[in-house]
Amino acid sequence: MNTVRRLIYSEVFSAIAFIALAFLALFFFFDLVDELPAVGRGGVLDYQLSHALLYSALLIPNHLYELLPIAVLIGCVYVLTRLAQSSEFTILRTSGLGPWRALGTLLQLGLMFAALTFVMGDYIAPPADRLAQLVKARYQGRITVGQTGAWLKEKRAASTAAVNVRSLLPDGTMGIVRIFEFDDAGHLVTTLQAPSARFGPPGSWTLLDAERMDLGQATSDAPAIARETFGELTWPTTLTTEMVASTLINPTRMSTVDLFMYQRHLKENQQTGQRYEIAFWRKVFYPLSCLVMVVLALPFAYLHFRSGGITAYVFGGVMAGISFVLLNNVFGFIGNLQNWLPWLTAAAPSILYSMISLAAFGWLVLRR
The domain ranges of the chain are 144-249
CB atoms within 10 A of CB 181: 20
Asked if 293 contacts 77 with a C-beta cutoff of 8 angstroms, the reply is no
> What's at 271, amino acid-wise?
Q
Torsion angle of C-alpha atoms 53, 59, 60, 65, degrees rounded to 10:
180
Q: Give the list of residues 6+ apart from residue 138 with CB closer than 8 angstroms, or none.
A: 170
- How many Cβ atoms from other residues are within 10 Å of residue 164's Cβ? 15
Closest CA to 139 of 24, 55, 61, 32: 55
> Can you give the pLDDT at residue 86?
81
For the segment 21-36, what is each residue's pLDDT rounded down to a tens digit?
999 999 999 999 998 8
Structure confidence at residue 144 (pLDDT): 58
176: left (phi over 0), alpha (psi -120 to 50) or beta: left
List the Cα angle 59/63/66 in 5-degree steps.
Answer: 145
With b for 16 or more beta-carbon neighbours within 10 A and e for fewer, the 99-116 pattern comes to beebbebbbebbeebbeb
Q: Please give the full DSSP string across 179-212, using - where no structure is assigned.
A: EEEEETTS-EEEEEEEEEEEE-STTEEEEEEEEE
- Interhelix angle 289-297/310-338, rounded to 10 degrees, is 150
* Residue 178 binned pLDDT confidence (cut-offs 50, 70, 90): very high
Q: Range with the lowest mean pLDDT among 87-101, 131-145, 342-356?
A: 131-145
All residues at 6 or more sequence positions from 2 whose CB lies less than 8 Å from its CB, including other chains: none
Higher local confidence (pLDDT), 90 or 10 = 10
Q: Residue 197, class by beta-carbon neighbours within 10 Å (0-12 exposed, 13-18 middle, 19+ buried)?
A: buried
User: Nearest-5° angle of CA 52, CA 58, CA 62?
Assistant: 130
* Residues shown for the chain: 368
C-alpha R_g of the chain: 27
Lowest mean pLDDT among 98-102, 166-170, 357-361: 166-170
- For residues 368 and 356, give the distance between their C-alpha atoms in angstroms, rounded to a whole number: 18
Stretch among 283-297, 300-314, 349-363 having the lowest mean pLDDT: 300-314
The span from the CA of 227 to the CA of 190, in Å, is 10
* 88, burial (CB in 10 Å: exposed 0-12, middle 13-18, buried 19+): middle
287-309 per-residue burial string, b: 16 or more CB within 10 A, e: under 16: bbbbbbbbbbbbbbbbeebeeee
Residue 179 has pLDDT above 90, yes or no: yes
- Percentage of the chain surpassing pLDDT 90? 33
- Name the 3-class secondary structure at 251: helix
The per-residue pLDDT for 217 is 58
Confidence at residue 143, expressed as pLDDT on a 0 to 100 scale? 61
pLDDT greater than 80 at residue 148: no
Q: Which residues contact 226 (CB under 8 A, 6 or more apart)?
A: 213, 214, 216
Among 366, 295, 363, 289, smallest CA distance to 323 is for 289
* Number of alpha carbons in the 13 Å side-chain half-sphere of residue 73: 26
* Greatest Cα pair distance in the chain: 98
258-263, Cβ contacts within 8 angstroms, sequence gap of 24 or more: 258/126, 259/283
